[in-house]
Each structure stands twice: as C-alpha cells, then as structure tokens.
Amino acid sequence: MDALPALLLPWYNAYARDLPWRQDREPYHVWLSEIMLQQTRVEAVRQYYIRFLQALPDIPALAEAEEGFLLKLWEGLGYYSRARNLQKAAKQIMQEYGGVFPSEYDKIRALPGIGAYTAGAIASICFEMPTPAVDGNVLRVYARLREIAEPVDLPQTKMRMERELAALYPAGACGAFTQALMELGAVICVPKKPKCVQCPVASVCMAAAHNTAEQFPLRLPKRGRRLEERTVFLFDCGGAYAIERRKSSGLLAGLWQLPNVHGTLTPADAVNTALEDGLCPIELIRETHRTHIFTHIRWDMVCYHIRCSEKTGKYTWATKKELTGKYALPTAFRMFLEAQEF
C-alpha cells in the first residue's frame, strides 16, 4: 500500500474532473461543497453551489442570512438540517474565531453539522493535514484494495481504514491525496462494473488481482423503509395557495408544506376536508399520485387540487410568485405544483 500515493496522484493530476469547488482551497468553499455533496449527486450540486456562493459569498453573509432565504437557496437539495447546521456553524465561527475558519482538526470537528468525514476533508484539502475523509467512495476503494472481509458500516472497520489510510498520506500532498481517493471511487472504482482495466492502482489492488471487486465492500443487511400513505391538498383560492409550517422537530422540521394528512382519502373525503377547514370548495380539478423516498421512509401520496372560494386563517396563502421566490417547499410537496403545470 505504500505505493498508493505515487500511483494515484499523477492520475488525479491528469484526469480529475473540473468541478467548481476545486478551483481553490478556501475553507468556506470546501466546507460548503462537502455539506452539499452529502447524499447528493455531483451534477445536482454544481449549480446549487454556484448560486449559493453568489448569494452568500462568505461566512459573515451566511451567519447573517435570514433563515427563510437560506432555506430557499437550499430548496430541492433535501436534508434541510444541513443548511441550518451550516448557519449555526457560521455563527459559531463568527463568535469564537472572528469569522476565520479554524485550522485545527478538533476545532473543525466540533462545529455543528461537521462529522469525521467532513472534518477530514477540510483539514486535508485546506490545511494539508494527514486526515482521511472516508466516505462511501473511499470505503469502497480501500475495501477492494485490501479485500477487507468485515462490513464497512461497522464503526470499528471504518476506524481501522482511517488509521491505515492516515499512515499513507504524503507530506505536502494531503489535500490532493484526499481528493484523488474520492475521485477514484467516483469515476473508476464504481459500485457496479468497476473499470479495473483503467484503474491507476490496479497493480496494488487485491480485488483486481483476484477478480473479486464486485464482492466488496461487505455491508450489514439494509433496514427496510417504512411505508406511509399521505393525502396532500393543493387548495387554490383566487390565485393563492394554502401552505403551512411543519413541526419544529422530526422529518423536514420547520419547513413549509402543502396541507396533508396521514392515510389515503377518497375524493369525497378530500372535499369534505376543505369544507371542514372553511374553504368553500368549488371544484375538484385534478387528482395526482406520486411517491417520494426518504432515507428510511417511503411516502405514497395522492394530491387533490381543489379550487375554493374562501380562504381561512388556518393557513398561510401564497401566490405562484411567492412560492417560486420566497417560500422553500421540500421536493415531496413541490412536485405536486409542477404536476399541475404550476
């Protein structure tokens, strides 16, 4: 394994993808990109990253942003606690470090929303520390290199990998080595049909030698997703639409949503719900079915678009323009607006 950096770094320097967060080593930029990339594809993040930095170009701007504006910038990325933790950390950096991102691993790790992986990435890429950033890509790469026979989602397995990788970090090229490992997992050592023939480290890879790459990494059995049925209401009154805030804790905490209830209501029951809310329904315009999958929950949803003649103070009423530019709706609900040719 000692030869790994010498094999990997020239390949990375020659073939690394041109990504906007690789243009510099500014900690704010690296931090933002790593948080955005959690649970999200690179191509989906690219435009969000550029737009976010145009709106909030530095840590002071992030710390001072109004929460609704911040969540609107994040709309569609999901896992909105990431955005809230970004702002909490920015405020802490302003208070404790005068707006300067800390350069010590332990201080980075202590910031809200920053785990071992993100701290390792920032510390190595921005400050040249030998701190591995072990995400799913790197777990897969290293498990194949060593044919590791323990599930990689066991904490002790991951800790072992981190220790062994830390010992391989080359002085003066720690950031490049971190990014090279990530890149290898993203474009060559992919989950299915890895491109072993093109791999720059195949000569030191045990899985490549034994043709066992697709057998690794080993993982614990997955827990099944819980299924929930929901009825969603698109109440439409005079060009305004009913929305409400979710509870301040739990899934999608504190975000705006279309009114909804557990279970699947019939069209008649949906109209009765509008009546009970004092909305005076005029017409049931459309019934739409959609499924949305969270990490551990699947929502099977039916949405009823109901035109009403009366508004009620139970809800906040927003125009199309406000829903587009002001209120952040999670994808689970916004997709119904899009389905109505909104």
DSSP letter string, 14-25: HH----GGGS--
Residue 51 burial (10 A CB sphere; 0-12, 13-18, 19+): exposed
Helix, strand, or coil here: 326?
coil
Task: Tell me the average pLDDT across 306-335.
Answer: 92
The yes-or-no verdict on residue 65 having pLDDT over 80 is yes
Q: Which helix (H) or strand (E) holds 187?
A: helix 174-187
Mean pLDDT for the stretch of residues 33-37: 97
Q: Answer whether residue 101 shows pLDDT above 80.
A: yes
Q: Which amino acid is at 108?
A: I
Q: Enter the CATH code of domain 226-339.
A: 3.90.79.10
**pLDDT for res 222:** 83
Q: Is 34 considered catalytic here?
A: yes
Q: What is the pLDDT of residue 340?
A: 67
Q: Which member of 34, 75, 162, 183 is catalytic?
A: 34
What was the pLDDT predicted at 224? 85
The pLDDT mean for the chain works out to 94
Tell me the per-residue pLDDT of 114-160, one tens digit each, with 9 for 90 and over.
Answer: 999 999 999 999 999 999 999 999 999 999 999 999 999 999 999 99
Per-residue pLDDT tens for 214-261? Answer: 999 999 988 888 999 999 999 999 989 999 999 888 889 889 999 999
Q: In sequence order, which residues have a C-beta less than 8 Å from that of residue 315 and are 6 or more positions away? A: 235, 242, 243, 244, 259, 277
Domain(s) labelled CATH 1.10.340.30 in the chain stretch across 4-215
CATH architecture designation of domain 4-215: Orthogonal Bundle (1.10)
User: What are the start and end residues of each CATH 3.90.79.10 domain in the chain?
Assistant: 226-339
Structure tokens at 192: 């299915």
